[in-house]
Structure 1
């Protein structure tokens, strides 16, 4: 069976979705007539393929440590793993690959994205799955070779547009229940109106 090829043509925000979702436009080619592909796509961030401002480097310290050590610590990060069914085609086709996204700052990729001010995020898309192709005696079945991949540079502005649709001007942190209760007591004792006020008061006390 002829080998399939993959190219990422671009990305955009999925509108009217219940959950933050990016759509990656994928072009798939094959010299054989394809009946269907059960496709799996693993997406990794390749942080060593871009430069960082001093402010970004400071925020990335949690992930990669001191910039002096980044030659050893700037390793790929897992972003997403999704599955999609590709309908039949001859020669080439284009599909959208939906990737649900979160804003969890405890997840490495979430920390990484939140630390960036502008530029692009280097992504590597790795493909696997099963190809069902038409043949003279019916159809043939083959696996998508492990070396099939595509690269894409996701604009940081697009990521921020996506997050602002669902978390406008804000983010969130997950806290242990006992920590949250202590923070609630702190907020109530000082008659603070919002959680932002409580966090700002704590930061001022810590800095003082």
Structure 2
């Protein structure tokens, strides 16, 4: 029977077949030699990530920004395949905002006491992709869908910025597969694999201008849309731009260019976002086009 101060058949300083110092020494030696029980086994490759570029992806089903990511391998085992997870965050605190921009960001970050603190980060996207095997390094792409839905904080932030760059923080994780003496092994990519990148605001605008030239999206409650549509019919207005101009004129606001509005069904009228939801009618109001 074990006496006081004993642990698993030994004293408090002896755990699972040795002292804590002996166990630590064996663990360090095992890490240096490779996998336990396999002397000389290859250690998992360590991956280093760097984001090199961002550009609008023209041929895609939804508005998309394509990031070019450089991956370099550190270690002896070549990579057979990489299942890569990427999380992208916007870090507004890493760029300056002039007074006019801060005023426009009030809806996003608030006003009043405490708003002089750095604004919080915004989660933009989480993606998953597969990277083919490589020896020393490779280049892959991370595609991120964009939305013109102004109920989404990221879309509001991009839209408000007058120019410059958007500080981004990339966090990588996933599973790396590698060969060890003819055996396929797997290891996790830790979440501390990170990279930063400053994306020009013009990239987001190029994406939106490509998919929505001279247009914007507006989300409305179904009841609000029904009232707006009834106003259009009652006043025999041919386009949604005329509806907006008429309402602004009645409110004493001067018209400042064209604003295009689309709508859908499934609980919301005039849907925003990429790809759209619902199967209702949509109208594309552009130069030379008119609605019903």
TM range (shorter): over 0.9
Q: Which runs of 5+ in 2 are unaligned?
A: 1-43, 254-292
1:140 equivalent among 179, 185, 190? 185
The answer (yes or no) to whether the contact 2:93–2:118 under 8 Å persists in 1 is: no
Question: Looking at both structures, which has the greater relative contact order when contacts are Cα pairs under 8 Å and sequence separation is at least 6?
Answer: 1
Q: CA RMSD in A?
A: 1.7
How many positions carry a matched residue from both structures?
208
Q: Spell out, residue by residue over 1:24-76, the C-alpha distance to the aligned partner (whole angstroms, 9 max, x if none).
A: 00001112310001001011111111112333222211100127643446101
> Match of 2:121?
76
C-alpha distance in structure 2 between counterparts of 1:112 and 1:82, whole Å:
20
Q: TM-score, normalised by structure 2?
A: 0.67
Please state how far the C-alpha of 1:180 moved relative to its aligned partner: 0.5
C-alpha distance in structure 1 between counterparts of 2:166 and 2:232, whole Å:
38
Distance 1:73 1:203, change over 3 A: farther
> Match of 1:196?
241
Larger proportion of strand: 1
> Match of 1:41?
86
> Quick check: 194-203 or 21-30, which moved more?
194-203
The answer (yes or no) to whether the contact 1:64–1:73 under 8 Å persists in 2 is: no
The answer (yes or no) to whether the contact 2:175–2:188 under 8 Å persists in 1 is: yes
1:6 equivalent among 49, 54, 60? 49
Match of 2:136, SS state, is strand
> Match of 2:169?
124
> Quick check: 72-81 or 22-31, which moved more?
72-81
C-alpha distance in structure 2 between counterparts of 1:202 and 1:53, whole Å:
31
C-alpha distance in structure 1 between counterparts of 2:164 and 2:115, whole Å:
19
C-alpha distance in structure 2 between counterparts of 1:38 and 1:2, whole Å:
14
User: Is 1:17 the counterpart of 2:60 in the alignment?
Assistant: yes
Distance 1:97 1:181, change over 3 A: same
2:72 equivalent among 29, 38, 41? 29
The answer (yes or no) to whether the contact 1:10–1:24 under 8 Å persists in 2 is: yes
Distance 1:133 1:7, change over 3 A: same
C-alpha distance in structure 2 between counterparts of 1:55 and 1:195, whole Å:
29
Q: Which runs of 5+ in 1 are unaligned?
A: none
> Match of 1:187?
232
Please state how far the C-alpha of 1:16 moved relative to its aligned partner: 1.9
Match of 1:147, SS state, is strand
Match of 1:70, SS state, is coil
Please state how far the C-alpha of 1:130 moved relative to its aligned partner: 0.5
